[in-house]
Chain A
Amino acid sequence: MAGNGLSYSEQGGEAALELAQEAAPTTAPSAPAAFGLFSSDTKKNEDLKQMLESSKDSAKLDAMKRIVGMIAKGKNASELFPAVVKNVASKNIEIKKLVYVYLMRYAEEQQDLALLSISTFQRALKDPNQLIRASALRVLSSIRVPIIVPIMMLAIKEASSDLSPYVRKNAAHAIQKLYSLDPEQKEMLIEVIEKLLKDRSTLVAGSVVMAFEEVCPDRIDLIHKNYRKLCTLLVDVEEWGQVVIIHMLTRYARTQFVSPWKKDDDDVVEEYNENNFYESDEEQKEKDWKVKKTYVMDPDHRLLLRNTKPLLQSRNAAVVMAVAQLYWHLAPKSEAGIVSKSLVRLLRSNREVQYIVLQNIATMSIQRKGMFEPYLKSFYVRSTDPTMIKTLKLEILTNLANEANISTLLREFQTYVKSQDKQFAAATIQAIGRCATNITEVTDTCLSGLVCLLSNRDEIVVAESVVVIKKLLQTQPSYHGEIIKHMAKLLDNITVPVARASILWLIGEYCERVPKIAPDVLRKTAKSFTNEDDLVKLQILNLGAKLYLTNSKQTKLLTQYVLNLGKYDQSYDIRDRTRFIRQLIVPNEKSGALSKYAKKIFLAQKPAPLLESPFKARDHFQLGTLSHTLNSRAAGYLELSDWPEVAPDPALRNVEAPEAAKEWTVFLGKTKKGKPTEKFYSESEEEEDESASTSATESESGSESEKEDKEEGSSDESSGSSSSSEESSDSESESKESTVKKTSRTAEKSDSEDIKKKAKRITKKRNTSSSSDSESSSSEESSSDSKSESDLRSDSESGKSGRATSSKKEEKPIQDRKAPNKKDVFLLDLDDFYPVTSPLSVPAAAVLSPSLAADLEGLSLSGSSVIDVCLLSSELLQFNCKIAASHPSEGS
C-alpha cells in the first residue's frame, strides 16, 4: 500500500532544504549520512535527540511536539526512533501520548527497535486503571509489528473478558487490526468476536459488529442469538456504531426473512382464485392462495423495522441514510414511504451530504415514484447550488414527472434552460427530451419548444437541442420534414461536432423525405470534409452511402469523392469505415452477396433510442453504499442476497436460558467479573413483549420471556426497593427504563442465586453493587409468573433497580479506587451517571453555592429523592429569536 515505491511528490513551494529532507526515503529510512550535504538538517535532528535525552520533561515535550509537527507535514522523522522510543515509559502523560503517536507512525518501519517498547505496554495491560489498559491495548495493536502477533492475540483474548466495557471496546477494534496484520489468526479471532457479540454493553456493540463485518461477514450464524439484543440496544449505541449495525442487520434480514413485498399481480390472482375456484386445479390454487393470504411478518423482522424507525430523527446523516436503505430493502412497500421526509430534510445540509443523498433518491425515485412526489418542490434547483447538485436534482425531477405535474415542471425547466451555467442548461434539455418520450401527452409541446431553442444564441444549448431532437424524431417517425429542413439550415452555423453529426445522421436516415436538400448537404460537407471532427466525418461517409443507395444519379460522384478523401484520412477508424462502405455499396466483381442487401442494411428501420435515467442501472447495489455512489463494485462490497423462498427456522434466534446461565456461572466463577448492561434510552420490554405476543409463533413465547427477563436484568424487581417511586412512575411512559445487570462480588452468592433462579426457570441477575456500604441491595423477586405477559410488562414499567444514588458513591471514591477490579460495576440507572473513578467530585460541596450544596447534601442524605429545580426564572432562561432568511429570488 504505502510501499508503492513512489517518493513523495512535493506539491507546494517548500524550500529546497525541506525538499531534500522530504525525499528522504520512507523506503530507506536509515540513511542520514546520505545527507551530509545538508549538515544543518542533521544538526537539527541532533538537537532534537539531545533534547529527548535530557532529563527535563519540558525539553522532551518540546522535542516531541516538534517531531509530531514534522510527522504532520509528512516529513521523515524516522531516524529519531531510538531516541524517541526510550521515552515510552515516561511518567508525563503528554510525552507518553506523543510517543505513542510517533510509535504508531514509525514502528512498522523499525520493527526491531519497536520491540523495546513492548514490555511497557504489557505492563500497562495489567494496570488497575481501565483507561490505561485500554490505551495500552490500542497502541500495542496499532504498531503493526508481525513478531508480536502472539502477544497481541493474548492481549485481545484477555481484554475481551475485561471487566470494563471500554477495554472490551478497544479489544474489538484490536481484532480488526490483528486480522489485517495476520489473516491466519482468523479462526481464533472469530472466537473472540463470538464472545464479544454476546456482550450486552452498548459501547461494545458497534465496534464488535464492525470487526465482524471485516473479519467474517459470512458467518451469519454468529448473529442469530444476538439479533434481538442488537435490535433492542440499537437506539443507545453511539451514532457510528448504529450505521454499521444497521447495514449488517439489513444483510442479515435479507437472508432470514421472507419477502414482505407482495407481487404486483397479487390482487388479480386472488380474485381469479375465488372466481374460478371449482374450475381449476383445486389443491394447487388453494395452496397458492394460502401462501399469499398467510404472509405474516416475522416478529423479529417487525422488531428490526420498529427499532430503527426512531433513528430517522438522528442528527447524523449517515444514520438516517442507513435507516432509509434498511426500509427500502426490508420494509413492505407501503411502509417505505416514511423515510422520504427524513431524506428530504438531509437536503438542507452540506453539499457533500446532499450529493450522496440525492444520488440515492434518484435511484429510489425511478422505482417508486410515489415516495417522493409530495416533495417535488424540494428538488427545485437553487441558483446557488453547485452544478453537480443541480444536475442530480434535475435527474430526480425528471424521474418524478408525470401527466399531472408535467406542465409545472416544464415551466420550471424553461427557467433552467436560461441558466448561465451552460452545462446545467444542456442537462435540462436532455431532461426535457426524456420527459417528452416518457409522457406522450407533451411530446409535441416539448418538440416545438426544443425547436424554438434551435434559434438560441448559445451554441451549447443549440447543439444539445439538436441531439435531443434527433432522438425524439426517431421515436416519432411520422412528421419531420419541416424540422429536418430547419436543421439542415443550421448546419452552416453549428460547430459542435455532436450536433453536426446528429444533423447529418438525420438527413441521411430520412433522405428520401428531403430529396432536394440531402444531396446539397452532402456537397457542402464534402467541401469541408478535411476540417471536420472524426465524429462528423463518419457521418458524412454514412450520408454519402445512404444517398448513393437511394439517389445514386445525383450523388454518385460526390460519394466517390468523399470515399476517396476518407481513404487517405489520418484516422484509421475512418479509413476502415471507408473501405467497408466502398466494398458494400460499390458493386464490383469481388463483392459478394452482401452488397445486394446494402440498401436493406443501411436503411433498415432503427429502433428508437431509449432515453433512460443513468441511475437505472444502479439499483442492483445496496443503497447508501460506496459502490452505489460510484456505480461500480468497490472492494469489500457485500452483496445483498435475495429474499429466501422459505424463511430459515426463526427459533435459531431464541436464546436458551440454561445455556446462558451456565455461561454466566462459569464466567463469574472464573474471573469474578461482570458485564453491566447498559440501557439508557432504549425502548425495551414493552415493545418486545408486544412483538412476542403478536407473533404467530406462540411456541417460543416461553423462552422469549425468559430472554427478556435476562435482558431486563433485575428490572422487574419489586418497586418497593429504595429507588424512588417518583422516578419509576415517571419512567412509565418514557422509555428510559434503565436496567442494571450486576453480578455480585462474591461469586458464590450469585452462583447460588443463579441456581435458584434456574430452578424457577427464570433467569434473574442479582443486582448488587460494588461499594460495600450504602448498598440497598434489592431483593430479587423470582417472578415465576412472568409468563403472563401483563405482569411482565407492569413489572418492567415500575421496575427500577434499587440502587443508592450516585451521591453516595461520590462520597466513596477512594474506596472505589482501591478496588479497581470492582469499580467498573457502575450503575446504569438514570440516577447514576457518575463514573466511579471521579476523585474530582470529592470536595464537591465546598465549591458550590450554598443552595446547591444544600441540594447535594439533601441528595446524599435522602438517597434517591429527586429535586426539581425550575429554571424558569427570567434571569436563567433567555430566548433569542432570530430569523435569517436567505432568499434567492429567481429571475427579476
Chain B
Amino acid sequence: MIHSLFLINASGDIFLEKHWKSVVSRSVCDYFFEAQERASEAENVPPVIPTPHHYLLSVYRHKIFFVAVIQTEVPPLFVIEFLHRVVDTFQDYFGVCSEVMIKDNVVVVYEVLEEMLDNGFPLATESNILKELIKPPTILRTVVNTITGSTNVGDQLPTGQLSVVPWRRTGVKYTNNEAYFDVIEEIDAIIDKSGSTITAEIQGVIDACVKLTGMPDLTLSFMNPRLLDDVSFHPCVRFKRWESERILSFIPPDGNFRLLSYHVSAQNLVAIPVYVKHNISFRDGSSLGRFEITVGPKQTMGKTIEGVMVASQMPKGVLNMSLTPSQGTHIFDPVTKLLSWDVGKINPQKLPSLKGTMSLQAGASKPDENPTINLQFKIQQLAISGSSATDECHCRWP
C-alpha cells in the first residue's frame, strides 16, 4: 500500500520523509514538481500523478503537500482519506499543522507516523489510541521531561487497541462529567445577479466534546430527525439503531470528535439570511468604472449577522480601486486583483456599503463579465434547517 510519505512546503523543499517499506529515493518527487509547475496554482496540482514506477497521491493542506508514494493498485480514496487523517492527527496533536510545528516536533511526528501505518497499511488511526501510545507534547510536559528525563512515550502500554471499542481509551476518569455538543450548519448557495437562488444546500455537523468517566453509553435523540436527509457517522454510532428508531446510540471516544455530519437536501427551500445589492459598471472607452455594493439582512429571526466577509475577484483590466466603506476595512490587491472587505457585524438600521470608483487599464476594452462576489457570514444560535435541536441526551455506564 503506502510506500513512503514526503512532506513538501510551498517553496518546494522536502522537509520530511518517511518510508514504511524499502527506501524510495526522494528524486521521485521530481515528477511531482513537474506537475506542480504545470498547474498554475497549488490547488490545481492533480491529486494522482503517475510516474514510470510509482504513483504519487497528494493532498494539499495548510500550505503543505503530503505526497504518498505507492507502487501497486490501491483505491485512491483510501490513500487520500488516510493522508487527510494524518493531517487531522497532526492538528490534534500540535494545535496547528504547519511546517514549523512539524519540524519542531519531528520525533513525535515520526513516532506517530510509525504507529499509524504498518507496512503501508493503516494500523492505529484513532486519536484516542495514538495519544495513549504517544503523548502529545505540551509545554508543561516538555519542561518536566527536560528536568526528569521522562519521555513522551506512554509508560503504560496502550490497551485500547485491544478492546472492542477501538476508538475509546480505557481508564478514563473525570471529576466533572460533562459533554458538549456543537451544532454547526453551513449553507452553500449560488445566487444569480438578479438575486434569485440557483442552488442552495445545507451541510451540518455535530461536533462533540465528551469528558465522561469509564465507558459511558450515550443516546441522543432529535426533535425532527426526518429533516436529516443524508447522514454520515463516526464509527462509534450504531447504524442499526439509527435506521430503526432514528436515535443516536454510541459509546463516545474521549475528548473532541465529530459525531456526525448531515446534509439537508437542496430540494427544500432554504431562506438565505442576507442579500447583496450591487451596482458595478464599466464604460467602454472610459478608464473609470463605478463600484457599489450593499449588504443587508433578510429573515434572520432577530439574530445578528456577524463575521461578514466579502471577497471579489476583479477582472484583469482593473488597475486600482478607490473605495470608501461605511464600516469595516477593505483591501484591494493590485497583483491578484482580489478585493476583500471585512465588514464585521451588520446593523440593520445602518446597512454597510462599499462605494467608489475603479480605474481601468487605459485603452483596454471593457471586461465582458462581471466579477463574482463571495460572501461569508456567521449567525450564532440559529439552526437554519430547523432540525438539530436535540431534545434528550441519555447516558449510562454499564
Contact = CB atoms under 8 A, between A and B. Distances in A.
A61 B151 contact: yes
B97 to A, nearest CB: 14
Contact of B121 (A210, A378, A736): A210
Interface stretch (A476-484, A499-507, A833-841): A833-841
A69 B107 contact: yes
Nearest to B126: A238
Given A887-B188, A887-B375, A882 B76 contact: no
B73 A627 contact: yes
Interface stretch (A364-372, A593-601, A867-875): A867-875
Interface string B21-43: 11111110110010000000101
Nearest to A680: B164
A386 B186 contact: no
A382 B198 CA distance: 11
A354 to B, nearest CB: 9
B92 interface: no
Residue among A626, A834, A870 with the most chain B CB within 10 A? A626
Nearest to B251: A833
B337 to A, nearest CB: 9
B47 interface: yes
A170 B118 contact: yes
A678 B164 CA distance: 7
Interface string A846-866: 011100100110010000101
A883 B383 contact: yes
Interface string A876-891: 1111111111111111
B14 A870 contact: no
A489 to B, nearest CB: 19
B315 interface: yes
B373 A892 contact: yes
Contacts of A142: 118-119
Interface in B155-201: 155-166, 168, 170-171, 173, 175, 177-193, 198-199, 201
Nearest to A805: B398
Contacts of A58: 149
Contacts of A2: 22-25
Contacts, number: 468
Nearest to B392: A872
B89 to A, nearest CB: 14
Contact of B377 (A166, A887, A889): A887
Given A94-B153, A734-B241, 6 more contacts: A165-B162, A318-B78, A341-B229, A357-B77, A866-B397, A887-B376
Interface in B91-129: 106-107, 109-111, 114, 118-119, 121-123, 125
Contacts of B59: 350, 352
B188 A735 contact: no
A883 B239 contact: no
Interface stretch (B266-274, B319-327, B353-361): B266-274
A97 interface: yes
A100 B232 CA distance: 38
B72 A624 contact: no
A666 B44 CA distance: 59
B299 interface: no
Given A805-B398, A868-B396, A625 B372 contact: no
Interface in B49-98: 50, 53, 55, 58-61, 70-78, 80-84
B234 interface: yes
Contacts of B239: 235, 310, 313, 681, 683, 735
Interface stretch (A190-198, A262-270, A635-643, A654-662): A635-643
Given A316-B81, A420-B313, A852-B177, A889 B372 contact: yes
Contact of A72 (B48, B109, B180): B109
B184 A884 contact: yes
Nearest to A882: B184
Residue among B18, B33, B118 with the most chain A CB within 10 A? B118
A771 to B, nearest CB: 16
B395 A871 contact: yes
A315 B261 contact: yes
Contacts of B75: 243, 247, 318, 321-322, 624-626
A440 interface: no
Contacts of B19: 105
A886 B374 contact: yes
Interface residues of B, number: 168
A420 B22 contact: no
A787 interface: no
B331 interface: no
A678 B162 CA distance: 11
Contacts of A34: none
A93 B153 contact: yes
A840 B156 contact: yes
Given A176-B119, A625-B75, A855-B397, A72 B181 contact: no
Contact of A837 (B159, B182, B389): B159
A165 B203 CA distance: 39
A876 B179 contact: yes
A6 interface: yes
B233 interface: yes
B317 to A, nearest CB: 11
Contact of A806 (B166, B238, B261, B398): B398
B181 A386 contact: no
19 contacts: A4-B25, A11-B33, A74-B26, A142-B118, A202-B164, A313-B239, A317-B80, A348-B203, A386-B43, A625-B73, A681-B238, A833-B163, A834-B163, A835-B163, A875-B178, A876-B177, A885-B186, A888-B190, A891-B370
Chain A to chain B: the 10 pairs with minimum beta-carbon distance, closest first: A735-B240, A12-B13, A636-B72, A891-B193, A418-B369, A831-B398, A835-B159, A94-B151, A310-B239, A889-B191
Contacts of B187: 883, 885-887
Contact of B182 (A243, A831, A882): A882
Contacts of A887: 187-189, 191, 272, 274, 374-377
Given A849-B175, A877-B181, A626 B157 contact: no
Contacts of B377: 884-885, 887
B153 A97 contact: yes
A101 interface: yes
A535 B277 CA distance: 49
A289 interface: no
A50 interface: no
Contacts of B181: 877-879
A236 to B, nearest CB: 8
Nearest to A165: B162
A737 to B, nearest CB: 10
B288 interface: no
B131 interface: no
A879 B206 CA distance: 10
Interface in A41-92: 57-58, 61, 65, 68-69, 71-74, 92
Nearest to B9: A12
B328 interface: no
A272 interface: no
A436 B58 CA distance: 37
B141 interface: no
A239 B238 CA distance: 14
A528 to B, nearest CB: 26
A101 B114 contact: yes
A886 B273 CA distance: 12
Nearest to B120: A176
A130 B162 contact: yes
B16 interface: yes
B199 to A, nearest CB: 4
Residue among A69, A93, A888 with the most chain B CB within 10 A? A888
Contact of B374 (A322, A384, A806, A848): A384
A867 B214 CA distance: 13
A884 B186 contact: yes
Given A314-B232, A734-B241, A888 B374 contact: yes
B158 A131 contact: yes
Contacts of B215: 806, 833-834
